[in-house]
Structure formats: C-alpha cells, structure tokens
Amino acid sequence: MTPQLELCADEVRPLLGENTDFTVVGVLGCQGVGKSTIMSLLAGAGWRGGGSDAAADTAADSMAGGGAELANPPFPPNPPEAWARGAHGTSGVDVQVTAERLILLDTQPLLSASLLLSMTGSPVPPSVHSHENLLEVQALQLCALLLSVCHVVLLVQDAAADEGLWSSAAAGMPSASEPPLVFALPCASERAPTSSHAGYRHEAEQLRDAVLGLPRRPFARSLSERDWLRGVVKLWELVRRSPTLDEYNRATHKLHQWA
C-alpha cells in the first residue's frame, strides 16, 4: 500500500500462491514504538553479532530508536537521522511473505505528527474537513482493514496505555471478542532501575514464539493466499466508502463548528 493508501495488489500477487495454510499478522501502533522491529523478528531476522550478550543488549536499543541491531531486518527500523528529525519510517503498508507462509503487514504509525506534516502540502479531500480529520480517518481505516483481514493483530506501545490508541484500534473489533493478550517487554537496558528479567533478547524471542504459537482463527470460508488478496482489495474499497465513517466525519465537522 502506497503512502497515499492506494493498494498495490499487482506487486503482492507474485508472492502469493494457491496455498490455504497461511497466517496473516498485522501490527498497529504510534510512531517509534518498534512495530517494524517486532515484525522483523516474526519474519525470522537474527540478531546482529550472533549470540553474544553484547549483541543482545544493543539489539534492544532498536526498540527505543537506537538503531537497527537485527541482521538484515526485512522491515528496516528508522535510522538515527530520521529519529533526530522526528520523522516516521513506514508509509502506507509494507508486506513480507515468509517461507513458512506467514504474511506480515507492517503499517504506518497511527495519529503521527510526522504524517500530518507530510499531508499539509496536499489539498484536503472533499470527504474530510481538515488534514487532522484526514489523519484520524486514515488511522480508523487501517485499523478496520487489519482487524478484518488478519488472523493476529499486534498493538504496540512503548509507554503507559494510550486510551485513544486503544479506542481507534478497537473501532472494528466485535464487541463479543476475547480480551487482548498483553505481552510486556522489559526495559531495553540492563542498567535500568526497573530491569529484572532474563535479558531483552530472550524476552523478545519469547514474544515471537508466543505470537507464532497463537491459535489461528479461520476466516469465514477456506481461502487461498490469492483469494485472501482479492478479499483485501474488496474490503479496502468497502472501508473507504463506509457510511459509518462518513457519518463520523459529519459529526466531528459539526463539533468543530460548535467549538
């Protein structure tokens, strides 16, 4: 998916086949929380420097913006110069398909100030009333899409729970769904006063194993990978034309007028 959130199905189609035994994992979160690092771990990226403890310690820094310490990560994290500018890394949605038929969807940050800044140079679409409104609508659309097309969706945070983020991510979640499974990674540095754990690398690998070991809920009917892609295209069009989102836009526009 491009930075303008246009699907590039023709680019993804050659990566997919008629296999019906596959798993789709997506990720949501704000800017700089480590979404790409976690998705690279799920894709099987190894730690830079092999099995040394030093490598394990420095690998943790990538989650906090200290750089990429995974060897050849398929979803590269933000380089230090981008962190210094406050720029986001992923734009749109990046896709990787592993040999184990794991389809990984790494998304742009939700409600990112950097994304908002990049939007200000383009005109506001007629369906929204401001760039801020467009940013929020895009976040809701991405959440709705991932919750519709993924077997597992990860919501990544690096601080205390953000109620606004959870509300956005849950917008498309059925009310009868099970409560989310929470996995807390430790502080990146062993010198941190709250650090009491088996090591960041060990904990990160446990997170990977826990996610890959989750029971996979089947879709409504048996789908091949290419059937799934066709469904994504149709669902994205439905999400973008959603009357519920249109109604939400009208309501927020009235609130802005009354404010």
Residue 105 has what DSSP assignment? E
- Residues contacting residue 224 through CB under 8 Å, at least 6 positions apart: 16, 17, 18, 19, 20
Four-point Cα dihedral 148, 149, 153, 159, nearest 10: -70
* Separation CA 124–CA 219 (nearest Å): 36
1 within some domain? no
Which pair of structure tokens corresponds to residue 55?
Answer: 């490598």
For residue 110, give the nearest of 200, 30, 182, 205 by alpha carbon. Answer: 30
Q: What is the pLDDT of residues 73-103, one digit of tens each?
A: 999 888 878 877 888 889 999 999 999 999 9
For residue 169, give the nearest of 182, 158, 153 by alpha carbon. Answer: 153
* Separation CA 69–CA 77 (nearest Å): 9
254 within some domain? yes
User: Which stretches of 120-162 are DSSP H helices?
Assistant: 131-149
Q: 71: pLDDT confidence band, cut at 50, 70 and 90?
A: confident
Total domains, the chain = 1
126 within some domain? yes
* Separation CA 70–CA 56 (nearest Å): 10
Q: What is the pLDDT of residues 124-179, one digit of tens each?
A: 888 888 889 899 999 999 999 999 999 999 999 887 666 665 565 555 555 545 66
139 within some domain? yes
For residue 74, give the nearest of 108, 48, 42 by alpha carbon. Answer: 42
Task: Indicate the range of 69-78, 110-119, 171-180, 219-228 predicted with least confidence.
Answer: 171-180
5 within some domain? no
By residue range, what is the domain housing residue 138? 20-258
pLDDT at residue 242 tops 80: yes
Model pTM score: 0.81
Rg (CA), the chain: 19
* Separation CA 199–CA 190 (nearest Å): 8
24: part of which helix (H) or strand (E)? strand 23-29
Q: What percentage of the chain carries pLDDT values higher than 90?
A: 41
* Separation CA 59–CA 20 (nearest Å): 35
6 within some domain? no
14 within some domain? no
* Separation CA 147–CA 59 (nearest Å): 30
Mean pLDDT of 241-255: 85
193 within some domain? yes
Residue type, 53: D
